[in-house]
Structure 1
């Protein structure tokens, strides 16, 4: 598995508000620029998504892939891993939320292994760009509600 990259941002909202946006997969195409389509394939007994198919178009990187989610009981984190992908061989990620007064620190951890070899430096830059964009778009979506 590839090395993990981690990045954080502080969002002016409570953790439950942020997790509600993270869990609303059908709305991703409205605010996550590279996500063109999502489809919740299965849900757990609580109605939270277990498997979600994504159609991604990030310029030179286009992929259709399925992620499986594991939601923490305390509502402060969600982890996922790749079930199936075209461009990716593996993906692991996590959003971890930590309340800081009336704000929340959101930490995003991501590890992606592509089916096509990529020089480590370029892969890390791509991961950083994906995480930076995802966190900024998440912050904008949550704070704009």
Structure 2
């Protein structure tokens, strides 16, 4: 059964600055504790990642995932291509300028192939949502400060 969640945060940065941090896929493990390894497999002509392979550890399960990104000027989404513990994953960020800040909405839908109690799935997803928003905000500000 699929589980969905969404979360919003406001970041003192432009959409372009935020998308640049998300596009730095190889750095994701440095600010997102669920990711232990990340590499870009293929890039679009503009240099943005198209496909990436990531090792994710959550709820006591280590999973190797291959995902494919779709980029616009105000969003990035990704879809799971392969995984050992998930049937599906669709996620993404939608960025809306708000003065000198940007409103960031993160949406995620997952469908696990391994059975886990509902409370573990919800707790793990909540941690991932916090990292995807609050962790992203901290990383964007860190990169902006240099």
Deviation at 1:7, TM superposition (A): 0.5
Change (3 A) 1:64 1:93: same
The alignment partner of 2:2 has SS state of coil
Deviation at 1:121, TM superposition (A): 4.5
Larger mean CA deviation between 41-50 and 107-116 belongs to 41-50
Aligned to 1:128: 126
**Aligned counterparts, 1:96-111, within 5 A:** 96-111=94-109
C-alpha distance in 2, partners of 1:42/1:12? 30
Deviation at 1:57, TM superposition (A): 2.3
For the aligned residue pairs, the C-alpha RMSD in angstroms reads 1.6
Give the unaligned 5+ runs of structure 1.
Answer: none
C-alpha distance in 2, partners of 1:118/1:112? 13
Aligned to 1:142: 140
Give the unaligned 5+ runs of structure 2.
Answer: none
Aligned to 1:24: 24
Q: After the TM superposition, which parts of structure 1 deviate over 6 Å for at least 4 consecutive aligned residues? A: none
Aligned to 2:50: 50
Compute the TM-score of the two structures, normalised by the length of structure 2. Answer: 0.90
C-alpha distance in 1, partners of 2:108/2:41? 22
